[in-house]
Amino acid sequence: MPDQPRTATLPDRLAAALAARQPLLTQLHAEETTAYRLFHGSVEGVPGLTVDRYGELLLVQSFHSPLAAGALAQLQAWYADALPGLLPVYNDRSGANSRIGNPLEGEALAAAEAPREATELGVRYRIRARHAGQDPWLFLDLRAARRRLMQEAAGKSLLNLFAYTCGVGIAAAKAGAAHVVNVDFAESSLEVGRENARLNALPIRPRFVKSDAFPAMRQLAGIGQPERVRGKRMPPFPRLEQRQFDCVFLDPPRYAKSPFGVVDLVNDYSALFKPALLCTAEGGTLVCCNNVAQVERDPWLDQLLRSARKAGREVREVEWIAPEADFPSPDGQPPLKTVLLRV
């Protein structure tokens, strides 16, 4: 995409972003995809501003500072002309923990909270512009990874860790996976995953496991999860039998702490990687994600390869999966790093 002059107006920048996406949008529409990013402000001239389409929904969000009323009106008017028929909803997420700061009332609130539907690669997903969480239930920058898993899935088993609303698992099941297990600690997210399963004519019934990822991985890998650690009783967790999977998908949050372990993508990705690797069958595929911008791609990969060697597992092939063109990265170093490992 050509650089925009500093004097470019907001409509100028929106127009340039849409023009740059036209080849991708033509492809996506042909693939039955109605969910994509229309404006990625961090690299398209308005840091902190994102505009996403989810089916009939036009979701506008600001993360650094509130969008001025005049600018919001200008943006909505521009898209009403360029992409008529979409319902605009604005979320100001510039406050603490990216929680929504602009209240809505009446019909506007009902429209923002209404359950909707979007499609991606022919798979149907439940969407809501506003709910208790921080995302409309489908991470758009993971489309490339879901696409890649759909190419891998036919006849295979999949373990989807930190599954959130189970988009990866539903996509794999739609693509012909023989067995799918989605693991997440949040029942509310898994319930959206079950709804996603109901929206699609799946040839199998995916499994949804409410569990902290650490005891789930340890049990599946055959390491085991003690009920007591250093004399302290662990919280309840579901019992799982040892099993390895043809494909394992690992998409953890940046940081999380529980009695079972610490998720820290900056300082200790290996704590997650090793048990996930041990859940992966010989000759299988492990897909790892790291969404922390400050983590550099190549040193992170080196860390994964060292961890694999220590675990006695050979990495036979490495394949990077880059976000698609609606998430432009001029330096080729997108914040979301996704690597597919054949082990």
Cα–Cα distance, 202 to 238 (Å, whole number)? 25
Mean pLDDT for all residues in the chain:
96
Check whether 3 has a pLDDT greater than 70. Answer: no
Which residues lie closer than 8 Å to 182 by C-beta, 6 or more apart? 160, 163, 166, 169, 190, 193, 206, 207, 208, 209
Which residues lie closer than 8 Å to 315 by C-beta, 6 or more apart? 304, 305, 308, 341, 342, 343
Q: Give the pLDDT mean for 34-44.
A: 97
The pLDDT assigned to 179 comes to 98
- pLDDT per residue as tens digits for the range 198-250: 999 899 999 999 999 999 999 999 999 999 998 999 999 999 999 999 999 99
Question: To which residue do tokens 């043809």 refer?
Answer: 246
HEC string for the chain: CCCCCCCCCHHHHHHHHHHHHHHHHHHHHHCCCCEEEEEEHHHHCCCCEEEEEECCEEEEEECCCCCCHHHHHHHHHHHHHHCCCCEEEEEECCCHHHCCCCCCCHHHHHHHHCCEEEEECCEEEEECCCCCCCCCCCCHHHHHHHHHHHHHCCCCEEEEECCCCCHHHHHHHHCCCCEEEEEECCHHHHHHHHHHHHHCCCCCCCEEEECCHHHHHHHHHCCCCCCEECCEECCCCCCCCCCCEEEEEECCCCEEEECCEEEECCCCCHHHHHHHHHCEEEEEEEEEEECCCCCCHHHHHHHHHHHHHHCCCCCCEEEECCCCCCCCCCCCCCCCEEEEEEC
Residue (of 237, 288, 290, 242) closest to 259 by Cα position:
237
Q: Give the pLDDT mean for 25-48.
A: 97
The pLDDT assigned to 133 comes to 76
The pLDDT assigned to 5 comes to 65
Q: Give the pLDDT mean for 282-298.
A: 97
Query: pLDDT band for position 70 (50/70/90)?
Result: very high
**Domain covering 140-342: architecture:** 3-Layer(aba) Sandwich (3.40)
Q: Give the pLDDT mean for 101-129.
A: 96
The pLDDT assigned to 206 comes to 98
- pLDDT per residue as tens digits for the range 176-208: 999 999 999 999 999 999 999 999 989 999 999
Q: Which has the minimum average pLDDT: 84-88, 157-161, 329-333?
A: 329-333
Amino acid in the structure at residue 63: F
Q: Give the pLDDT mean for 78-102.
A: 95
* Extents of the domains making up the chain: 10-114, 140-342
Per the CATH hierarchy, to which homologous superfamily does domain 10-114 belong?
RNA methyltransferase domain (HRMD) like (3.30.750.80)
Check whether 134 has a pLDDT greater than 80. Answer: no
Contact yes or no for 11/74 (Cβ under 8 A): yes
- pLDDT per residue as tens digits for the range 136-167: 899 999 999 999 999 999 999 999 999 999 99
Share of the chain above pLDDT 70, in %: 98
Q: Give the pLDDT mean for 22-51.
A: 98
The pLDDT assigned to 323 comes to 97
Cα–Cα distance, 92 to 215 (Å, whole number)? 36
Check whether 2 has a pLDDT greater than 60. Answer: no
Query: pLDDT band for position 132 (50/70/90)?
Result: confident
Check whether 6 has a pLDDT greater than 80. Answer: no
